[in-house]
């Protein structure tokens, strides 16, 4: 993908379908039309495709296939985890999250507060890091659930999920992690990490849109939001087999090439950041000293408005964003960056660049040239 007519650096919003998935997904749409709940040959064929994909998702997580529940997206997975965990802990009504969680989590919890759920939001420091001592203090006997992102969607900052999960477990709280931005970028070995629930979204790592998954640890009873017999009665409704097939294939791709692709993306991200810092005075990387996933860079462009830069990038055929796609389009500053201590003006001067396994060095170099040209023009216009 080196065509300078279109360079896509908004992969935390969504990704292109992996080329290796296109034909299998199209073939499934065309040929595997049976309902996987049906007992005839067409249904059995669909069921076999469904279970093969489930096994592939489980392998990516080092989990059992029976622990994988397919959903429509990451938002549904997060909601099922949170609502299901609260229902699984009757008499407990406290949830602990961070102040930088995805809008799908924070919006749901805002709604649940009206139903009597108490929510504690943990602060982060200037680099977006979580204080584990604050987490330990926040958990009370009334805490049903701790829910923390594994990787932040705006900055890429990684939370210490292994330690956080152990703290929650030691205090008797269930632990959920939103791993939507971590899958396919870092190892997710759930045989070693004591999480009870983990959310995935296929379109964040080159699967089709319309499919997500929730890992549910064996032995945990989860109350569904959608009732029906599918997915072991944990998520009713006919499964989206073609999209699920695509997700299974991208899990296989991610598992097979994880280390190599992560290293390549890290080198390109570092090339982007070093180039920006060298060529654009006043630029800063938000969360740059914290552990991060390898594909994400949150760059603050001094006093320049991010939306103006993004408009010029778009006209030059370069796609990036000012933050989460679920909140982009509004004029409010990012809640993630504000929680990190940035002023509104600093947050509004920030652009998120998110790379993929298909990003090339030539694309990064072209983006740097365009950014330098845009910065020069905007600085001259402001003088």
Q: What are the pLDDT digits (tens) for 339-352? A: 999 999 999 999 99
In this prediction, residue 4 carries a pLDDT of: 46
* DSSP conformational letter for 323: S
Number of H helices, E strands in the chain: 12, 12
Q: How far apart are CA 345 and CA 366, in angstroms?
A: 28
Q: How far apart are CA 294 and CA 307, in angstroms?
A: 24
In this prediction, residue 329 carries a pLDDT of: 52
pTM of the model: 0.95
Class for domain 7-16+258-382, per CATH?
alpha beta
Q: What are the pLDDT digits (tens) for 10-61? A: 999 999 999 999 999 999 999 999 999 999 999 999 999 999 999 999 999 9
C-beta separation of 356 from 204 below 8 A: no
Query: What residue spans define the domains of the chain?
Result: 7-16+258-382, 19-253
Q: How far apart are CA 31 and CA 45, in angstroms?
A: 10
Residue with tokens 């632990």: 175
Joined together, the tokens standing for residue 175 give 């632990």
* DSSP conformational letter for 198: E
Q: How far is CA 234 from CA 80, 151, 227, 285, in A?
A: 9, 26, 7, 41
In this prediction, residue 381 carries a pLDDT of: 86
Nearest in space to 129 (alpha carbons), one of 346, 299, 340:
340
Strand ranges for the chain from DSSP E: 7-8, 68-71, 94-98, 118-122, 143-149, 174-178, 197-201, 212-216, 283-285, 296-301, 318-319, 350-354
List, in sequence order, every residue forming a beta bridge with 300; answer none if it has no partner. 284, 350
Residue with tokens 């910065």: 375
SS3 percent helix, strand, coil of the chain, rounded to 5, is 45, 15, 40
Class for domain 19-253, per CATH?
alpha beta
| Apex 306 CA angle, 301 and 350, nearest 5 | 55
Q: What are the pLDDT digits (tens) for 250-285? A: 999 999 988 889 999 999 999 999 999 999 999 999
In this prediction, residue 2 carries a pLDDT of: 43
What residue ranges of the chain have pLDDT lower than 70? Answer: 1-4, 324-330
Joined together, the tokens standing for residue 184 give 């396919």
Side by side, the strands of the sheet bearing 283-285 are: 283-285, 296-301, 350-354
C-beta separation of 203 from 180 below 8 A: no
Q: How far apart are CA 338 and CA 129, in angstroms?
A: 13
Helix (H/G/I), strand (E/B), else coil: 291? coil
Joined together, the tokens standing for residue 203 give 């379109």
**Active-site residue set:** 326
């Amino acid at each position: 993908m080196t065509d300078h007519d279109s360079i896509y650096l908004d992969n935390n919003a969504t990704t292109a379908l992996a080329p290796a998935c296109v034909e299998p997904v199209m073939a499934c749409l065309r040929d595997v039309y049976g309902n996987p709940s049906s007992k005839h040959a067409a249904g059995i064929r669909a069921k076999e495709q469904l279970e093969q994909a489930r096994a592939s998702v489980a392998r990516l997580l080092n989990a059992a296939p029976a622990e994988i529940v397919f959903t429509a997206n990451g938002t549904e997975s997060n909601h099922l985890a949170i609502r299901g965990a609260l229902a699984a802990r009757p008499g407990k009504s406290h949830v602990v999250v961070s102040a930088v969680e995805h809008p799908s989590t924070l919006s749901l919890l805002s709604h649940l507060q009206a139903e009597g759920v108490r929510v504690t939001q943990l602060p982060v420091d200037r680099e977006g890091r979580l204080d584990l001592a604050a987490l330990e203090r926040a958990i009370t006997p009334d805490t049903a659930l701790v829910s923390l992102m594994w990787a932040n969607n705006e900055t890429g900052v990684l939370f210490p999920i292994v330690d956080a999960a152990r703290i929650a477990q030691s205090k008797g709280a269930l632990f959920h992690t939103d791993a939507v931005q971590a899958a396919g970028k870092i190892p997710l070995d759930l045989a070693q990490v004591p999480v009870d629930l983990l959310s995935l979204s296929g379109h964040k790592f080159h699967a089709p849109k319309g499919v997500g998954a929730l890992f549910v640890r064996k032995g945990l009873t989860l109350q569904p939001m959608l009732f029906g017999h599918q997915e072991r009665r944990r998520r009713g409704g006919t499964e989206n087999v073609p999209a699920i097939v695509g997700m299974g294939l991208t899990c296989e791709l991610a598992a097979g090439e994880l280390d190599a692709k992560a290293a390549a993306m890290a080198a390109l991200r570092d090339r982007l950041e070093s180039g920006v810092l060298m060529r654009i005075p006043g630029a800063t990387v938000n969360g740059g000293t914290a552990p991060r996933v390898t594909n994400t860079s949150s760059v603050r462009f001094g006093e320049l408005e991010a939306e103006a830069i993004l408009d010029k990038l778009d006209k030059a055929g370069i796609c990036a964003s000012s933050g989460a796609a679920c909140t982009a389009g509004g004029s409010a500053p990012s809640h993630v960056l504000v929680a990190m201590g940035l002023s509104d003006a600093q947050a509004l001067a920030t652009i998120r660049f998110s790379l993929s396994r298909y990003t090339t060095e030539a694309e990064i170099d072209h983006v740097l040239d365009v950014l330098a040209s845009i910065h020069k023009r905007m600085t001259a216009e402001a003088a």
